[in-house]
Structure 1
């Protein structure tokens, strides 16, 4: 079965009902909306663009609403990814953002063992969210997440390794940001406009590394989590086109 993604202006005869979870930027939502789909985003925070197609809630409240396609873009992943596994052995000096306000307030006074209990609980919570999305009663599911450590994998129901890892520069955006997709019922994305990355140490390489070089601050997480427009367009065209084709 072929997948058509060359025409970025097609309008579906029967629009798909699509949920874009854990997204506040609206980048992926707008990419699908431009192709005529009935698409909604949701997050615990409001949409940056003020769209009336954004629902403020826990994504799990919406998983049984009869969606044709679910794309979960930025689920809380700090506790699941390889870079966070060290905190399960030795807790961080500062309280993690996912801790409760009470836990953050008393973090400095907690014992090492008490802090570790919180870190393992946060791992369980992150794995439960990923599991609920991955096993949602939806035929086509894509979940973005970094490569996981073994403790996370053990906690994910029906875990299966990421189908692919892509970079924004594979899709015409001059940026470095490895993005892994766990896919169920969807094909891997095909690069649409692969650029030639600059050499390390050059000024251009630094510009491409803006995500990794983002300064610490309140908005750092937002800068680091945004989906590149090129990848968003590829999702809408390729995954949307594939879903329409198999549903025809």
Structure 2
């Protein structure tokens, strides 16, 4: 029971694939390679078009779920609750993913690459740099982290668990898409933020919970009196 589970090599493979995708996109942008332009034009053609009042209203509201203030607020509330119920791993998991990776690393990356935002009509006002998409990164790290927590903590409430996981999963994809539609990001920005977020999320899940994610959360649901915490 206290035995350490093996590292999940399938998830490790997905994490590495995410990191390689980010490097592929970053290299393409910094070296002005043709595939970046192809990806970006594909995004504008198949995601942004057509611009309609209904779609604009929908994506303007969806994109708020990835705003810095909102993600920081959700992170803080979740971390405080975790600390109150003595789940230190959960608090660290949220703060590292959303605070360090989603907010801190994102700002660093934007200043490294200095990519201007698309020179097209912006449905919403947005300043700052474009690569990688902070909203895409935040969406994966915030809502992906919540999916992990819901999956383990609501083990016995299947309907509620699946409802939350469906909602959070939809936001993980809808928020990045909204950035392309709104004209404030290229598709390559969004893919870079998304893939980097996948890498950070999987690695933090595996490492912060000391390779024992399943056991840690199952113990939280069904604690054993004789079990000793490391």
- Structure number with the higher helix fraction is 2
Q: What TM-score results when the alignment is normalised by the length of structure 2? A: 0.26
- Structure showing greater relative contact order (alpha-carbon pairs closer than 8 Å, 6 or more residues apart): 2
- Structure number with the higher strand fraction is 1
